[in-house]
Amino acid sequence: MRQRLTDRQLDTWQRLQVVTERLRRRVGADLRGRADLSEAEFTVLAHLVDTGGDARPTTCASAIGWDSSRLAHQLRRLERRGLVERHGGLRDARGSSIVITGSGRSAHRAAVGAHLRAAATWFGDALDDETLAGLDRALRALEEHMRRTDGDGPDDGRPEQYENEEHGR
């Protein structure tokens, strides 16, 4: 393991940080303006739609690359807005599930077009096929490195806070 980054690595790392943040802000602004959802809210709702409407919090967090505390915070916000609900043990007795509501499905449907337009504008329009293929290879290499270095998921080993929290409305 290297202790220092080369100048090129440091420059690329800093560019990745800046570009990623700018993309998130722009996509988030497009979603907020057109569908009244943040990028994070859309991410959770999209995962729930993709999984048939419900998921265990640990599974959801892992699938979208978040740790459990970040997901727990976002779920509390989505619950307050009536876009998701928590249900005890829909699939088994080991823990709770998060379930998208009818309002959540409607919000997701309203946001899909805005999300795809933002992705096309801020991402797709910028990359030709060769550049996209190179970026895809780089991202896959980073994913594999993280799997080898950290384990299977993004969680930091802390307990599933959302499943264990007292449910307060």
What's the pLDDT at 166?
34
Q: Quote the CA–CA distance of 164 and 155 in Å, as a whole number.
A: 16
Q: Residues 75-105, buried b or exposed e (16+ Cβ, 10 A)?
A: bbebbeeebbbbeeeeeeeebbbbebbeebe
pLDDT digits over 56-108, tens only?
999 999 999 999 999 999 999 999 999 999 988 545 546 789 999 999 999 99
pLDDT of 164 over the 70 cut: no
pLDDT of 161 over the 50 cut: no
| Range 13-39 average pLDDT | 93
| Range 40-46 average pLDDT | 96
Q: Quote the CA–CA distance of 132 and 142 in Å, as a whole number.
A: 15
Name the pTM for this structure. 0.75
What's the pLDDT at 141?
96
More confident call, 158 vs 120? 120
Q: Which ranges constitute the DSSP H helices of the chain?
A: 7-35, 39-50, 57-64, 68-80, 102-122, 129-150, 161-164
| Range 124-150 average pLDDT | 94
Cβ contacts of 167 within 8 Å, gap of 6 or more: 86
| Range 8-29 average pLDDT | 94
| Structure token digits, residue 89 | 């043990």
What's the pLDDT at 159?
34
